[in-house]
Chains A and B, each alone.
Chain A
Amino acid sequence: MKKGLLILAIILVIVIAFGSSIAGSYNNLVKLDEEASAKWAQINNQLQRRADLIPNLVNTVKGYASHEEEVLVGITEARSRLETAKTPGEYAEANAQLTTALERLNVVVEAYPELKANENFIRLQDELAGTENRIAVARMDYNEAAKIYNNKVRSFPTNIIAGIFGFEQKEYFEVSEQAKDVPQVNF
């Protein structure tokens, strides 16, 4: 009788120990998941902000450099790609495309001193530069958080718990190798 009680107690201790360690791992995963998601939201906000600045920029440029239709179309296209992106990788690619389009604009702008001196244009450029920098920072923060989360999801024994509860790895906010290989149009 006493022996049975002892065995029961041992089993109980083991069950509690296992249960609490599983709960601990689970809670930790939830926390890391939330952190990464919050940091992703930061990137998303800034991408949205960047996209919102574009129509204003395009209109301002049009007033001075209406001949540069091609460059402006490129910017508008990149912007709409940003709006339809779904995964972090797609967002990163659309964002990179927009950066390239804006760089082309900056080259073109050199030929329009009046536009370059336009107060509104200068402020928009500052807003864009600040937003780009925010994206860079948010990207660093997110990738760091995603890496910590992914490491947890992949490493033993948390990977078992992650598998049971359906925690999946997070995609990094970076341009994939495939997209990098797309030939750039030269001017």
Chain B
Amino acid sequence: MKKSRLFLVFFLAFFILIFNKNVYGVGLDLPEPSRYFYVYDEANVIDNYLEDYIINTNEQLYSKTGAQIVVVTLNSLDGNSEQEIAVQLFRKWGIGSKEKNNGVLMLIAPNEKRLWIEIGYGLEGALPDGKVGEIRDKYIFPYFKENDYNTGILKGFDAILSVVLDEYNIESLNSSDSQIDGNYGYDENYDVDIGVNPIIVLIGIIIFLVIDFRFFGGMLTRMLMRSSSRGGFSGRSGGRGGRNRGGGGSSGGGGAGGGW
């Protein structure tokens, strides 16, 4: 009886998941966000230093304003328009905070030479399409035309960042700023502070393991292990403790882009 009910719950959850995907995905095969969320470099054009810079800057930005500026490169658009992929990805990942919808997604398809910068609803005032187009023409495309993706992404990212900071009346993000020490920007659900209460954490883990292996045959544990090894710590310096996520923001197609 118990087992069958459990099965039913999983069955339903499975269907809800499938259903949701159909509503939003509309046949697009969209990637899951990377472990550090702010950079997803499928086309492998972003250098490590730039990746670190974008992630660090975003963690500070998110903790202060809830805004998120995500950079994504894709190997292929699979025949879809860059705008279509951008808006679906934006909504799937939930970029920017849910209340403020203040996310930005910079989507780059180097092979197709297409770019789209999607602006969340909440930043459309600060970053109207014309302004985004200006950033594209001044800071991004001149470098992309020379195949210098790192400079284009960096300059474009900084230009967008400065507009966002202006919007929230912040002069600059500074890593020595006391507010953003430690893991402030991480998602609290993942940020287990082992330093304070190791016993409680240990008990929690044991309870989790017991429940998991007793009722789910260890499925959850295996899932967790797999997802953490997939994200991987390899190649990243500093040993990050947490995992970043989207804040649940949405967008409606605002922004600018095009081919170069």
**Which A residues fall within an 8 A CB radius of B?**
42, 122-127, 129-131, 133-138, 140-141, 144
Contact = CB atoms under 8 A, between A and B. Distances in A.
The 6 closest A-B pairs by CB, nearest first: A130-B129, A126-B133, A137-B253, A123-B130, A134-B253, A133-B253
Contact of A130 (B26, B134, B253): B253
B252 A129 contact: no
B196 to A, nearest CB: 44
A137 B128 CA distance: 17
Contacts of A138: 252-253
Interface residues of B, number: 18
A23 to B, nearest CB: 25
A127 B133 CA distance: 8
Contacts of A140: 26
Contact of A137 (B87, B130, B137, B256): B87
Nearest to B83: A133
B253 A126 contact: no
A129 B87 contact: no
24 contacts: A42-B252, A122-B133, A122-B137, A123-B130, A124-B130, A126-B129, A126-B133, A126-B256, A127-B128, A127-B129, A127-B130, A130-B128, A130-B129, A130-B254, A133-B83, A133-B255, A134-B252, A136-B83, A137-B87, A137-B252, A137-B253, A138-B252, A140-B26, A141-B252
Contacts of A133: 83, 87, 253-255
B130 A126 contact: yes
A126, A135, A138, A141: which has the most chain B beta carbons within 10 Å? A126
B60 to A, nearest CB: 28
B17 interface: no
B33 to A, nearest CB: 20
B199 interface: no
B23 interface: yes
B163 to A, nearest CB: 15
Contacts of A136: 83-84, 253
